[in-house]
Every structure is written in C-alpha cells, then in structure tokens.
Amino acid sequence: MNHWLVKSEPFKYSFEQLLKDKKTIWDGVRNYQARNNLKAMSKDDLVLFYHSNEGKEIVGIAKVVKTFYQDPTTADPNWVVVELSPVKKLKKSVTLEEIKTTKSLNDIGLIKQGRLSVMPIKPEEFDQILGLAEEL
C-alpha cells in the first residue's frame, strides 16, 4: 500500500466537506507530476488531506476508493481524476510549522516541492505525521 498527500484550499474543498459528502471526485489537477501521482494510486491507499493557504495543516486521512479515469470536467485526455472517501479527521491537526521543526520530516515533498498538489509520502513519514497527530 502507498501513502499520499493531497492539498486543497479549504474554501474550495475542505476536509469537513468531504466528511459530509462521504466521497468526492478529485478533479482539477492540471500538473503532469501531480497527474502521474494520481495514476500511481491504488484502491485503499491512504491519503493525507492538507489545507493550503488557510490553516496550512494536515487535517485528516482519506483513502482511494476508485483509481484514475479520464477527468469528466475536460475533454483533454491528459487529465485524470480519482475518487476519495474520508477515513477520519485527525485528533490533532499537524501544522506545516510542526512538520518543518520535525527533523525526520525535513525531506517530505510538502516542504521540498511546495507547489506540488499531489505527492507520495514515505511510510515512515506517514507514521511520523500520525504520531504528531496523536493517532498512534
């Protein structure tokens, strides 16, 4: 199983909204690297949900319920979507600040490639983050 992190601006689509919706189509990705990551997702992979701009923190865990297919919002065959469902809201959100001050997380894509909106997370990084969220 692989682990991922996706970013969303809360005013566009928040984790609370996902909890309400139970399931969402992760559309609008228009970056090749992020697209490749979407394509690499398998069913039941766990996805950290990060709020950018507002909050700047990881707020919850989601999982992949449907692997990639053509983005229905565009006719351009370059772009794909996946479907995500919420797993749980974190007991304690993990802020960018905390991630930055945690030595073992200094290599995480979130810091190294700030602009990427879908990125892989190493298993040990995933565990570290759950630790910070008091979920372990």
The H or E element spanning position 24 is strand 24-26
* In the complex, least distance from residue 44 CB atom to DNA, rounded to whole angstroms: 25
**Of the residues 3, 5, 7, 109, which one makes contact with DNA according to CB under 7 A:** 7
Asked if 96 and 56 touch (Cβ cutoff 8 Å), the reply is yes
Asked if 108 and 116 touch (Cβ cutoff 8 Å), the reply is no
Site string for DNA, 58-77 (x = CB under 7 A): --------------------
Choice between 28 and 67, CB closer to DNA: 28
Choice between 12 and 43, CB closer to DNA: 12
How far is residue 34 from each of residues 7, 31, 119, 133, measured CA to CA in Å?
A: 11, 5, 7, 25
Choice between 52 and 85, CB closer to DNA: 52
Distance CA(25)–CA(120), nearest Å, equals: 19
Residue numbers of the site for DNA (CB under 7 A)? 7, 9, 30-33, 52-53, 56, 96-97, 100, 112-117
